[in-house]
Each structure stands twice: as C-alpha cells, then as structure tokens.
Structure 1
C-alpha cells in the first residue's frame, strides 16, 4: 500500500471528535496549539439543510420513521450502528458484546440521550464502600471544578437537591413534568422511590449568541438546527475549526500510533476511506478520543520493538476491565391516561423531564452499586410502532382492540399516550477478565486487525436487573396500570440487556498510580509514553449509576489543560 507522509508537524493530533475529542480540540486550539483532528466519518453540521432531519414527519420516510434500516429510527442522527459494513468484530467464549461505532463529526454526541449526570464522591472511591473493584486515583474534589465549568460552558438543566452522591451543579431551569410523568411521580414517591427533575444538556435559557434555545420539539436525537442541545460537532468542533487552529481530516480510519526509537509517539497512521491510501501525520502529542474500545484497538495495533504488546500495554491491561452500564426496561398500560386530548403540545425536550436517582442502601440488597430510572411516555410524534402493539399486548390487557379502518383509528386515538416506560441504567463491577483484544485472524475492509470481545455478566448485574423489574412492576401497579410482558426469570438473566447495548462502555485504558496495574495516570497520560493521552471513557477506573458523558468531558478538560501546561513547560 502506498504511504503518504504529511510534512507538517502538529502540536497535537486528536483522534475522534466525540465528547472527549471535541473538548480536547476546543481546549488545545484555544490555547494556541496547532491541531489535527482525525475523524473516521464524514463532516457533519446539524444546521446543514441537506442532512438535517429535525421536524420531518414520519410519512416523509418510506418506512414511516421505523428503525428497520437505522438502529434508532430513520431520522435519528446516528451515522453508525452496532454493525458497520466491512468493519466486523468477533466474540470469544460465548461473549455477546454489542459494540456501537459512530461515524461522523461529533460522534455519538449527535444522537445521545444528553443525560448529563456528575459522578458522586462515592463513585470515585467505591472500593472503600463495598470492597469491590478499585478506587480511582482521583477524588470528586479533584474533578468538581471541571464539572462546574462544564455546566456553565455547555449548559444543563436541573435543580439542586443536596443529595450526597448526586452532586448539585449550575443548572438552567428544568421543563415542567408532563402528564405521564406526574402520574409516575405520584406512584414512585408513594413507594419510597425518589424522583427529581432530570439533568439534561438542552438549553432552556439563552446561554450565548452562538446557540439557540430549545423550543420543545422532542427531537434532540435528530440533532438540533438551533444548536440548543449539546453535540460535540456544533459546540466544540465547528467553532474550533472556524478558529483557524484546526485541520480536519475526515473519513480517516486510524490504524496505529507511530513511535520513535525511545518509544515516544511521533504521530498516527490512517487509511483514507476516499482513496484507500495510507497517510501519516506527525505530531508532538497524540490524544486518543476514539471511544474506549476503538482507542484500545489503536493502542493494541501500535506494536513496535519498544512496545511489543502494543503501545501502553506493558501491564497487559489495555482492553481489560471493559464494562458497560447495566440495562433493563419495562412498559405498562395505564387506563387513567386513556382518551387524552391531542390539541396541545406535550412534546417537551428530547427525553425525560424527571428521573429517579439511586435511592436505596445496597447493604440491605443482594447486589452492589445502584441504578437510576429513566421515564418515557406521553404523546410524542407517532410513527410506525410508536407505542403499542395490539396483538402482543392484548393477552395482557384483554381489551377489544384491533381491526382496521375507522375502528383502528379510533383505538389508536383512545390509547395514544396511555403507555409508560421505564429503563434502569446501573453500575456493573469492573473485572479484569472482561476485555477486548485483537483477533489474530480477522481484519476489516481497511486491512486493520479487528477487536475480539470476551465479556460476561456476573450475578451482581443479574440481581440488579431483577430488582429493576420488581421496581418497575410495583410502580406500574401503583399507577393503576398493567405491566406488559412477562416478568423475566433466571433463564433470561432477569431481563438484563446484552453488554454494550447501553453504549456506555468504559475502562479499557484505566487510570491508576501503579504502572503495573493501570494504563494511564491520573491525568489520563500513558505510563509507557508520556506524550500520549486518552480522553474518552477508557481511563475510567469504574462506572457509576450515572451516564458517563459528563465525566468524559470533565476529565478531557482537565487532561487537555494539563497538556497545555506541560507543553508550555516543554515537558512533552
């Protein structure tokens, strides 16, 4: 294959333009560093009228908006999937890990749920609580200043509640609960389940002149032409590119990190999807933000005489301690929500207006750590399969529904908005044996060796999922409703979704003070190469019962400012 050397030497090469890579691009470029931003997908701007899907109706799609060709629906801004043509991954020992790859400027932040939760003090030191896993080498106090600045920089709505492990922040006004959420609040609190306003990164109030304010179309997953919700492309990358310090390389599949005779990074090599040639970029610093598993793949494929097991892998921990959020979900039919009037906008922001943070003491339960509950329902834009399946649900409801024509239309209107859903998202225990590694026998269409996954849930996670379903059923009954579907049993892992399905994978380049047991230090800097940093979720020592994106960005801000400081001191 022809290799083309780029003569330009960058101060920093950033791989990946999602939450961590986008933040690093902003911080480093604004500090005056010359940056190359390398993205595996094409350029994307949410304001582009050609690609914009916001406000399109289901009938504008030949599939009526269904998810038959794209995982989250025809109009969802998700250029990627758990399966990408020509880019396979493999499994080992019965593993069923699902690996999501985003392929676009801004990565997953163009279609994420925008649930923006800080990790709490216990989340950084959970081994001290239950003796499982390891403590982080940093504390909440170390990261708090960056959370504070992130709140003000990006914008997040919510309320200060004074909860011990769900830290307060700097919040914009939250939207009011919708009807189905009011029913949820009443039922949940009756059972002792806490409910507070959601913490989401949509602007309910003007933040600056570059971004608009949410007008409650409930379509944040389609990306926002007002820049009112957070995506790395609109808030970080595009402004940085327009600032003149960033050269963007799109459709570029990074193959490996290049190193010199001392084992330090000199740049990266990538395959262009446009001409299938190999290109090499030179840089003084390499910042990997390709996602936890993609970064591990790049490092493991970066073998040299100085790094025979892969760059940063002298401890044999690159790819290990992989873990994803636990997940389970349930829906219910609530008769009190039938026959709602439809002449008003009940859309709101894209996602929930209220949620339940973890409320129990694990010492009284048969599993460690916790989970939060995300609430769905209401009368959003109907689409094919938008909320109920007559033939499936009738065996639980015993209702005379079905048919076609006027009767079907009448039933749809009658039951529209009468269903509620709940999703649990919890913390799994990080275990060394759960890992991704290079498959020695398989390459992708670009000739790059692929990842092989070996991941198994433990009873800790299964018992957590069982508790989720018990809670969901109790809340639905307290609403006077009927849970849909059978209660999953042990043979179904109690309804626990497959690992990777929640798309919160972390831990493949975990941070720690000891180079023998960790990959990065407390500044997300490789122990084995001091001019290589990781700004995605790879350095997480453990997950939490919170979504990981807010912590990815706070850590990336901290790491990026450390890079600037070290660069000025000529230490890297």
Structure 2
C-alpha cells in the first residue's frame, strides 16, 4: 500500500516554520496586517506563567531530578526544551569537526532561555570587507536597518544608556539597573586600563511598556522564563499577541520535512511529520517563511529537492549551508580577596550582567581581524542547582588561609561559605569569527532522524584570526583581574587548547548558512531575505547573515524579520508573489 500524505484542508497566505525571534516577529507583523498565517513549531506550547510549566521562583530542592544529573544543559529549571543533543535527532561531523548544534524544541525556541543581550550591529559590522579585506560586505548598511532597530526597541523594550560609541549604536533605552559591587570594581579597573565598561543592553523591562507585561522584579532567574513576561521571549511577546489577532493557527509538534514546490519550481507549502501520530501532513500556502534557525532552515532547503531544484531549494548557487559561523568564546574566573567577608544583602538584579565591555580597539593595530565584547558575572545571587561553589578552590587562593585545609563540617563550614561566597568573578569574551565557505553544514547521505528526515553533517575549523582573538581575550582578562587585586582560579589556557576557545556552536550564535547578497551566484537571498531562485520563499532567522559581529545576533534577526515581513505584505498587495 502506498504511503499516504494527509492534506490540511485549510490553505494559508503564509506558512512560517519556526517560532523563535525571526518566526515570532514575522507571525506578529503578517497576522496584524490581516494575512492568514500558519506557524509550525517542532516542540510544544510554552508559557512561563502557566503553573504547569513554571520553573521560576522554585527552590533547588524542588528539582524533579534532585540528587541526580540534570536533564537540561543549563540546569533543570532552564526554559529550554532541548539542547546540544536530542534523543532521536542526531547530527554528524566530518574531518574531526567539533561543532555542537543547540536546538530548542518549543514555542519561542531559544528566545525562552537566552541572555537577552540585545545589541545592534554598527555601521562597520555591515561593511567589514571594505575595512579589512576579509569575507564580504552586506548588500545593506546600518542606515537601512536603523529604522527597524528603533521599532524593535520600542516594541519589545531594552534597557541601556546613551554612550555615543560609533560602532555600538545607541537606541531607545529604558533605565538600566544599578551596577553590583563586583561590576563597579570591574569598571574601576577598566577605567585605569582604558577599557570602557558601560551599562548592559538587555531586553528586560525595568518599567512597564504595556498592560500585557509587568516590570522586572529582580529575581535574577530570566533563564527560567518570566511569569510576568518582563523579559523578551518570542513565545510571550510576539506569538501570544499574534494569536490574539485571530489570523494565526499554531501547529505544535510539527517536524517539517521539506518545502513543497509545483512543476515551475514555485513553493506551494510544506510537508511535516506530526510528532503525536507520526503521520505526514501537507500544508499549502502562497508564501513560505523559514525561521527554524540558521542550520535547520538550511537543512530544510537542502532536503527540498525536485526536478526544478535538483541540488535543493534556493540552491542554484550551491551556497546553502556554506559560510556557517558562530561567535567565538573564551572565559576565565578569579578570586578577589577584596570581595570577602561582605555584609549580606540582596544582589540579584536582572538575570544577567548589569554592565559589559563593548569592543574598544582598532583591529588595524592588532594581529587579528575582528573584535569581541566581554560579559562578566559574580555577586551574591542565589546559587543555582547543578552549579556548585568550589570552596576548596577559593580557599587555596586565600593569602591568609595558608595551612588550613578546606572543607569541614558544621559552623566552620558555614562560616567559610559566608566569607567566600560572592568573592569570585567570571569573564567571558564573545567575538566575531570570519565567515568562510569551508565552514558548512550539508546533508548526511547515510543518516536520518527518528522521523525519517535526512540529518545535517558539519564541517568547521577556527582560523588563526579566531585563535589570536581568544589569546587577546585571555590577556585582557588577566589585566583586569590583576588591576582588581584578584587571583585567577585556574591555570591560563594555552596555545595547545587555542587559548580556551570554545567549540564552534557552544555559544549558540550560529548564522550565515543562507547568506544575503545581490549576486544570485554567490548568495541565497536578496536584501529583503527573499530567495533569489524562488520568489515566494523567505528566510528570516540568522541564516541570511553575511557576517556576524562582536554582538549577539538576536536584535538583528528581529529587525531584519520585521523589514522582510513588511516587504512580504507589500509584495502580496502588488500580486508579485
């Protein structure tokens, strides 16, 4: 008996695959314009205000896995259903590649648990080839995106401060929270070293912006999902209002297999496997918008082969999957004796840093091409379940502790914890890698997932620019630690481990697999995120990025999705799609 694909009776104006930053923004804009929209999400519904799903404000001992290993990469209470490894959904690697692919299967995707660091790309970030000769320039510039950044700021809310730094553009900011003590010490050290330390720019409401969302109450648990919707997650800030329009149908548990096309090669919809009954369904739409994440959208296009698209949909250039790149990352921690024996007080704040270090140097005077920013942590917030406090490691660095063994029991142990907790700081550099064609994902010809869908195979290496950048990060960390009077807790990572450079994919900022450009022979989509080969297919996740920046990509994904979605509305009105 032939395998039957079931067809959904309802046809849509637009089908959106993925409900994260790009997909959520597209759903909101298109639905509020009156279009009938289907949103397909591989995971379940999610609302952190739902008591059945709430993990915020729970005590560590309430973990269902108390006393055992965590079930989630960032802790049991983290608002991410997924991780770098998902049962039944493998991916493969070639030539010694160490790429790690994080996937979050839930409405809102990875925006439910991200750091909310909401930075605009600057004018230089769109034109790096013109500045340093590496990679390619974007076909658009900062002035093209600025109006959409402005609208995203006002729509979602972001706190920060006006600093007037050319390549770290200011926006429309809510008041930033006050710095914590360790952050003030880092700022003091940075001032002496000529390193700027400024208020963070996070999409967390320090005051209300509408009746649907409350202001942050400083529990410092944003990664658990916010019960008052004070932080930005696509699930609550974009998908939820889009659903209220009455123009959106949300399909959860829908694992999309491919984009369907007609004999002329035009997209007609998608096919997907319903995770509940494991049956395959077909959904028809006039326009298909891919927002499944850079790698997942590339996988869909490469798996969408037909007589008109023999190498995969929108891949006449052969570029789909190529130019994959993730942010660089290297870190260091230190013990700061001056932070010992402090009076106890609530230092929680928002779920993240209150200050950060933007890129401050001229790469023309350095031996690597691109910059990085520095995130840092510390303070006396509540310890997280699964992330222990290394009392012994700190005691070993205490100059006044010589000869006394670590540990113990009873009052002495408690006194040690009180003395040392809050006396450590951590630094993490997050930098830009150069996009290269030889970093890519492709379809593995021999492996399928549990739904029968061919999986991705990765090839990735760091260049000397990223390795030298990591060395510079470690140099900077040591300078700041020394200026604070601190003592590094661990040996400095050396050249043999690329100066602590994390595996690609670990920073979860992968972009570039469906790059934007004016030349259809060297790019996948045009400057409006529209596929060159198939005019009714758009990609609005991180895939179209020509290059990353020394910033997190989410704010730019949101701005470009807003821009592309309004273009779709205009093109449908003109009957061009």
TM superposition score category, shorter chain reference:
over 0.9
Which of 469, 477, 493 is matched with 2:498 structurally? 493
Q: CA deviation at 1:392?
A: 4.3
Match of 1:38 in 2: 40
Q: CA deviation at 1:408?
A: 1.8
Match of 1:78 in 2: 80
Distance 2:372 2:66 in 1: 34
Counterpart of 2:271 in 1: which secondary structure? strand
Alignment root-mean-square deviation, CA: 1.3
Q: 1:346-398, CA deviations, whole angstroms, 9 ceiling, x for partnerless residues?
A: 10001000000000111111111100000100011123464631344555557
> How many residues were matched structurally?
571
Which of 388, 409, 418 is matched with 2:414 structurally? 409
Counterpart of 1:8 in 2: which secondary structure? coil
Match of 1:355 in 2: 356
Counterpart of 1:180 in 2: which secondary structure? helix
**Is this contact kept in 1: 2:373–2:430, CA < 8 A?**
yes
Distance 1:487 1:383 in 2: 26
2:450 is equivalent to residue 449 of structure 1:
no
Which of 541, 544, 560 is matched with 2:546 structurally? 541
Distance 1:278 1:412 in 2: 56
Match of 1:463 in 2: 468
Distance 1:402 1:73 in 2: 25
Distance 1:317 1:406 in 2: 63
Q: 1:262-289, CA deviations, whole angstroms, 9 ceiling, x for partnerless residues?
A: 1010000000100000010000000000
Match of 1:432 in 2: 437
Distance 1:464 1:385 in 2: 31
Which of 12, 15, 26 is matched with 2:14 structurally? 12
Q: CA deviation at 1:2?
A: 3.2
Return closer, same or farther for 1:299/1:82 CA change in 2, 3 Å cut-off: same
**Is this contact kept in 2: 1:58–1:65, CA < 8 A?**
no
Return closer, same or farther for 1:142/1:350 CA change in 2, 3 Å cut-off: same
Q: CA deviation at 1:484?
A: 1.3
Which of 135, 138, 143 is matched with 1:133 structurally? 135
Counterpart of 1:561 in 2: which secondary structure? helix
Match of 1:561 in 2: 566
Counterpart of 1:136 in 2: which secondary structure? coil
Counterpart of 1:309 in 2: which secondary structure? coil
**Is this contact kept in 2: 1:67–1:74, CA < 8 A?**
no
**Is this contact kept in 2: 1:15–1:38, CA < 8 A?**
yes
1:270-419 equivalences in 2 (<5 Å): 270-342=272-344, 344-384=345-385, 386=387, 388-393=389-394, 396-397=397-398, 399=401, 400=404, 401-419=406-424
Distance 1:563 1:63 in 2: 46
Q: CA deviation at 1:547?
A: 0.2
Counterpart of 2:443 in 1: which secondary structure? strand
Normalised by the length of structure 2, the TM-score is 0.97
1:85-234 equivalences in 2 (<5 Å): 85-234=87-236
**Is this contact kept in 2: 1:65–1:73, CA < 8 A?**
no
Q: CA deviation at 1:238?
A: 1.3
Q: CA deviation at 1:114?
A: 0.2
Distance 1:134 1:469 in 2: 28
Which of 232, 235, 239 is matched with 1:237 structurally? 239
Q: CA deviation at 1:527?
A: 0.6
Q: CA deviation at 1:7?
A: 2.1
Match of 2:255 in 1: 253
Distance 1:480 1:255 in 2: 56
Distance 1:426 1:527 in 2: 30
Counterpart of 2:435 in 1: which secondary structure? coil
Structure 1 unmatched ranges of 5 or more: none
Q: CA deviation at 1:492?
A: 0.5
Structure 2 unmatched ranges of 5 or more: none
Distance 1:10 1:462 in 2: 48
Counterpart of 1:216 in 2: which secondary structure? coil
Farther off after superposition, 392-401 or 46-55: 392-401
Normalised by the length of structure 1, the TM-score is 0.98
**Is this contact kept in 2: 1:66–1:385, CA < 8 A?**
no
Counterpart of 1:413 in 2: which secondary structure? helix
**Is this contact kept in 2: 1:509–1:540, CA < 8 A?**
yes
Counterpart of 2:146 in 1: which secondary structure? helix
Return closer, same or farther for 1:64/1:328 CA change in 2, 3 Å cut-off: farther
Distance 2:509 2:92 in 1: 19
Distance 1:385 1:147 in 2: 37
Which of 511, 519, 523 is matched with 1:506 structurally? 511
